[in-house]
Each structure stands twice: as structure tokens, then as C-alpha cells.
Amino acid sequence: MSTTTRRTTTEVLEGIDLGGEVILITGGSTGLGFETARALGAAGASVMITARTEEKGEDAIARLRALVPTGDFSYEILELGSLDSVRAAATDIRRRLPRIDVLIANAGIMAVPFGRTEDGFELQFGTNHLGHFVLIGRLLPSLLLASPSRIVLLSSAGHGMGDIIWDDPNFAGTEYSKMEAYGQSKTANILHAVELERRHGPRGIHAVAVHPGMVATELGRHFTAEDFADIAARAAAAAKASKPARRGTKGGSSGGGLDLVQPDVGAATTVWAATAAELEGRGGLYLADCAEATAAPYATDPDAAARLWALSEDLVGETFA
């Protein structure tokens, strides 16, 4: 991220009234999701977050209401690593939120040791992509009812660390690399946005992917000093290989930097993606620093996006029209 283009969530939302907007944010109990919820709630939106447990949900809502006493906040329990939980949450969310103006797929994990989800998927691919794939697919009717609506998927410049491992996305036989697995999951987030836009953009549901920067949150709690050195080298290489697609009024970047920012800066591009008038009617984009940016070619290839959709449907055993 460029030091000259950093904006905060408060600056992005200055003068914007979100009264009447219904926004769903996954993973809103801490970090970027919590700050995103706070900022959008302070601007007048009705915000539902998801949390992994009732305790985390209750605690987050209490903290949000303390910060925004006039805010309208609620929560839903969601464990992205369990498709049973995802499907149950989607059913309840549709009951509680017949209309969703903005869905922000914020929740995720990063560079974790090898593990599998409840359904047997590699932990990062299963949590960061497949869980959201099913959730979004099942919530499309609520997004359609609110059309024009938006889907914001949190990706990362870390997508440069790995393309989709098409013949072994769940590392059944491939030697596990937590960085490559993370990169694969973040590439999947961008491809998901590309295919969502192709399928549903004409119906008024527009999807984008966002790079928030390297943010000082608990997301990187599994990182070692060697991991930070590794991701710094990979991010620098990815930044050198790609340039911004188009600069906004404040500038844009490919999002290759490693310097840590605070959540109110890290969440700014998410908030901008959810509300910016200049993005109205547009999607299939990769955003960083509150502007359009360039992702790796394999992450925006429409054929790869369609292929990932088909693979994802096959893996979860569910199709979405």
C-alpha cells in the first residue's frame, strides 16, 4: 500500500448516509470485520455480523453498541469450516434478512498449519473459499431482492503466492505449504468475484475482491519470523510483476507492500468497495488502496473463474443457478 494514499474508514464514509441499508459481514467479532461493522453502523446501516460462537457474538455486539450507541447491530453464529454450520446460518440469515444490500465476505484464516475442515477440505481453501461459496450461493435470493446489491470478498496481494492447484486443491498428495495454500485460497476469492459478476452482474448483483494490506490484527498469529521474510519477498515479487490498472482520485496500487497498518486503514478499501458511487453497476474488479488494482493474470482469467465455480460445486455437492 502506498503511504500517500491511505485513507481511514471514517474518511471514506464522510458525508455518506447508509440509512436503510442492510449489510452482512462475516467474521465481524474482531479485526477488520469489527472495524468494518463499526464504520458502516456509524454511517447508519443496519449491520449483521457473524461470529463463531454465541459468546464471541454477544461480546462483539456489546462493544459495537458501546462505540456506536445509535447503531443497529446483530449477529449470527457461523463456522465456515463446517458446511452444516454454513447452511444452517444461511437459512437463518435469509429468515432474518430477506433483503441484503451488501454482503462482505470478510472472515478468513491465514498461513495456518496443515489441517482439514469438518468436511475434509484443506483448512484455508475450505474456510476462505468453499465456506463463503456456499454461504453466498444460498444468500443470492436476498441479494437479488435488494438489487442493485454488492458482494465484497476479502482477498489479498498474497494471492500472488499461489494459483489454484487444480488437480489437488486439498493437498491430498501435494506437499503442504501454508503460504501456497493461503495464496490458493486468496486467488479463489478473486476468481469467485469474477464468476459471480459474470453470472449475476446482469441481474444487478455486483461482486469485487479487495486487498486490505497487511493489517495489525490477530490474523497473522501463526506467522514466524521466517514467514514474514517469505511473504515480504513474495509480495515484492508480485508488486514488481504487476502495476495498477487505474488510479482513483487518491491513487491506487497493486497492494504489494508489507508494512502493517491499523484496522481503520485496512478496512477502508472494504468500506469503499461497499459504498463508492463510482463502483455502481460495476464488478469483477480487484481493489486496493480505495482504487482499482491489478491482480495476477491467473486470478482474473474468466475461464479459470468458471472452472473454479464448477470445481467448487462438485466439492460441496451443491449447485447454484
What digits encode the pLDDT tens for the residues 106-139? 999 999 999 999 999 999 999 999 999 999 999 9
pTM (predicted TM-score): 0.89
| pLDDT in the model for residue 3 | 42
Q: Which of 46, 75, 186, 286 is catalytic?
A: 186
Model pLDDT for residues 31-57, shown as the tens digit of each residue: 999 999 999 999 999 999 999 999 999
Phi–psi pair at 13, nearest 5 degrees: -95, 5
- Verify whether residue 182 is a known catalytic residue: yes
- Residue 245 scores a pLDDT above 80: no
Pairwise CA distance, residues 261 & 214, whole Å: 6
Pairwise CA distance, residues 244 & 291, whole Å: 9
- Residue 253 scores a pLDDT above 80: no
Count other Cβ atoms within 10 Å, centred on residue 210: 33
| pLDDT in the model for residue 321 | 82
pLDDT grade for 252, boundaries at 50, 70 and 90: very low
SS3 at position 320:
coil
Question: Are 1 and 252 contacting, i.e. CB atoms less than 8 angstroms apart?
Answer: no
| pLDDT in the model for residue 239 | 55
Surface-to-core class of residue 204, CB atoms within 10 Å of its CB (0-12 exposed, 13-18 middle, 19+ buried): middle
Phi–psi pair at 256, nearest 5 degrees: -90, -5
* Cell triple for 271: 468500506
Q: Which runs of consecutive H residues, i.e. helices, occur in 69-130? A: 83-96, 123-124
Q: Which runs of consecutive H residues, i.e. helices, occur in 43-97? A: 54-67, 83-96
- Residue 192 scores a pLDDT above 70: yes
Q: Which of 75, 182, 253, 254 is catalytic?
A: 182
Model pLDDT for residues 280-289, shown as the tens digit of each residue: 999 999 999 9
Q: Check residues 220 and 225 and name the one with the higher pLDDT.
A: 225
Count other Cβ atoms within 10 Å, centred on residue 111: 23
CA dihedral 176, 181, 110, 80 (to 10 degrees): -110
SS3 at position 154:
strand
| pLDDT in the model for residue 258 | 53
Phi–psi pair at 87, nearest 5 degrees: -70, -40
Q: Which of 155, 156, 242, 254 is catalytic?
A: 155
Among the listed residues 217, 212, 230, 229, the one whose alpha carbon sits nearest the alpha carbon of residue 271? 212
Question: Are 194 and 6 contacting, i.e. CB atoms less than 8 angstroms apart?
Answer: no
Pairwise CA distance, residues 277 & 208, whole Å: 14
* Cell triple for 203: 441481474
What is the average pLDDT across 280-307? Answer: 97
What is the average pLDDT across 179-184? Answer: 96
Of these ranges, 212-216, 257-261, 271-275, the one predicted with the greatest mean pLDDT is 271-275
Question: Are 208 and 315 contacting, i.e. CB atoms less than 8 angstroms apart?
Answer: no
Surface-to-core class of residue 224, CB atoms within 10 Å of its CB (0-12 exposed, 13-18 middle, 19+ buried): exposed
Q: Which domains does the chain have, with CATH numbers?
A: 9-315 (3.40.50.720)
